Amino acid sequence: MADMPARKRIGLVAHDQKKADIVAWAARHLKVLQGCEIWATGTTGGHIAEATGLPITRLKSGPLGGDQQLGAMIAEGRLDVLFFFVDPLASMPHDVDVKALLRISTLEQVVFACNEATADFVITSELFGTPYQLERAPHG
């Protein structure tokens, strides 16, 4: 059984071309995000914190290990939701890390939003601010 507390533990990441989008998104959802524990990859976290004043624990830059740090947090059950604004038209030199994040998020039942529309639906869901329990069979 996976348990998510009412106060969600979230990760924020954005490709270079999507950093302005995630900053604007965070500003629009500031009230909800103020009630969350937030981690972000280095540059993304810096931009969001500067624009919104949100307390954000900054990890390394994504390609320098930040994506892997988020993956480890997911594997350890320390993240509930990952907002990763992906630019599908840009080449991704660390594509393997992105795929690994998607794989571990799926395996561990972490909510994963990779575009603004999905992120809007997730953060405005009535489930977002409540405890959530998911019963599932253990995996190997």
Active site residue 95: no
Of residues 16, 67, 87, 95, which has the active-site annotation?
A: 67
Show Cβ contacts of residue 84 under 8 Å, excluding neighbours closer than 6 positions.
11, 12, 13, 14, 98, 101, 112, 113, 114
- Separation CA 46–CA 57 (nearest Å): 9
Query: Residue 3 corresponds to which tokens in the numbers above?
Result: 């348990």
Instruction: HSE, CB side, 13 Å, CA atoms: give it for residue 85.
Output: 22
> Which residues are identified as catalytic?
67
